[in-house]
Structure 1
Amino acid sequence: MKGTVLTFNAQLDEGAISGEDGKRYSFFGSEWKEQLAPARDLQVDFVVNELGQATAIYLVSFSQQTAREKLSSKVQTNSQLDEEENYGFFDWAMKCLRNYVNFSGRARRKEYWYFYLFQILVGFILGVVFGIIGISDSGIDAISGLVSLAFFLPGLAVGVRRLHDVDRSGWWVLIAFTIIGLIPLLIWMVSETKPERNQWGQPAK
């Protein structure tokens, strides 16, 4: 519901809003969701709870902008998910390479595990090729090190995004440096996408 702020007492941390229905609604400062302090004549959007109090109060312009941003974000997410339905093995691998330093957002299981398999496949192919052309062991080790280095950042980034997708902080990836930590890390990496939106964005599928 929309309305206009009538009063706000900072000491008591409460105020009143005149709703567009002509009724007066009291509110507590904790329900004010803006950085700008409540003031008389501000136009707001709010929700009325079961006690007849105003809650979740936003400035009208902010509310409209937020709604547009949420709608735009949802449309973009749905469009991306529709596109990914047609992704194959190499499409997922290329997505990770394109996002090689992207540590924000979320990544579904396909994205993580297909990239993991891609790294194994590349290593296997290079090993066969090097064996055929007769490169020395030291040469193979040097090239393998460079390949591993090239895959390090995209692999780390998609691992962090995968943790985000199961509602875990990306910092949990550090437990890979402990032997026992590999067990919960593996469980999280194979877990299904959490269907709820979280601080890292919409569900990855």
Structure 2
Amino acid sequence: MKGTLLDFSIQYNEGIINGEDNKRYSFIGAEWKEQVAPVRGQQVDFLVNELGQAVGVYLATLGTPFQQPPVFQEGNAQLQEEQNYGFFDWAMKCLKNYTNFSGRARRKEYWYFYLFQILLGFILGLILAIIGLSESQVNIFTGLLNLFFFLPALAVGVRRLHDVDRSGWWMLIAFTIIGLIPLFIWMVSETKPERNQWGNPAK
């Protein structure tokens, strides 16, 4: 059967193929029979075992046309551009999407922006301490910094939940304290490879 590779996780050593029958088939890394690494969008040939899993996965031979699903054609340029993003690029992306609560955000976008806030807060605190400001004055500056970051941090958190197929309203469970545990798990979870109501996968 022919299909298109939707995703492959190096961390879990498994991937997903969208078959020409529009069904999805999972496969483990050992079933990838090529010398090159599996990459999303590759056209492949494979067999299906009795468990409904893809086995013997090869790159499709040239000259055998198979139409790639449009889901990965949309936004492809943006995804390619993000392959070269560094730490500050991800942080700036969040600031550019200051109040954007729609769409999806991958783990890098969320966690690099989180780290950016911590580093900036540390540097500001260090500078204010060197200047010799009082504790109340330092608190004013840090409060303003936190206020500045509140909306973009909330927005990227909502987009991160969208990326694991959760509504942004789940952010509210943070107020229950114990809700921080499932929130953390969702924030570190891998991108869901399927298109959902919030758009295409973020990676």
Specify the SS of the correspondent of 2:124. helix
Q: How many residues align?
A: 135
Give the aligned partner of residue 120 of structure 2: 122
Higher Rg: 1
Specify the SS of the correspondent of 1:173. helix
**Structure 2, gaps ≥5 residues long:** 1-68
Give the aligned partner of residue 197 of structure 1: 195
- The TM-score with structure 2 as length reference comes to 0.65
Q: Which 4+ stretches in 1 moved above 6 angstroms?
A: none
Give the aligned partner of residue 175 of structure 2: 177
- The answer to whether structure 1 residue 80 and structure 2 residue 78 are counterparts is yes
Q: Quote how far apart the aligned CAs of 1:135 are.
A: 1.0
Please provide the CA RMSD for this pair: 1.3
- The TM-score with structure 1 as length reference comes to 0.64
Code of the residue aligned with 2:142 in structure 1: it is: S
Q: Quote how far apart the aligned CAs of 1:76 are.
A: 4.4
- Render the CA deviation track for 1:22-67: whole Å, top value 9, x for unaligned: xxxxxxxxxxxxxxxxxxxxxxxxxxxxxxxxxxxxxxxxxxxxxx
Give the aligned partner of residue 142 of structure 1: 140
Instruction: Tell me how far apart the structure 1 counterparts of residues 137 and 92 of structure 2 sit (CA, whole Å).
Output: 27
Q: Quote how far apart the aligned CAs of 1:179 are.
A: 1.1
- Render the CA deviation track for 1:6-27: whole Å, top value 9, x for unaligned: xxxxxxxxxxxxxxxxxxxxxx
Alignment of 1:39-118 (within 5 A): 71=70, 74-118=72-116
Q: Quote how far apart the aligned CAs of 1:80 are.
A: 0.3
Determine which of 152, 155, 165 is the counterpart of 1:154. 152
Code of the residue aligned with 1:164 in structure 2: it is: H
- Render the CA deviation track for 1:106-135: whole Å, top value 9, x for unaligned: 000000000000000000000110011111
Instruction: Tell me how far apart the structure 2 counterparts of residues 75 and 147 of structure 1 sit (CA, whole Å).
Output: 39
Q: Quote how far apart the aligned CAs of 1:138 are.
A: 0.7
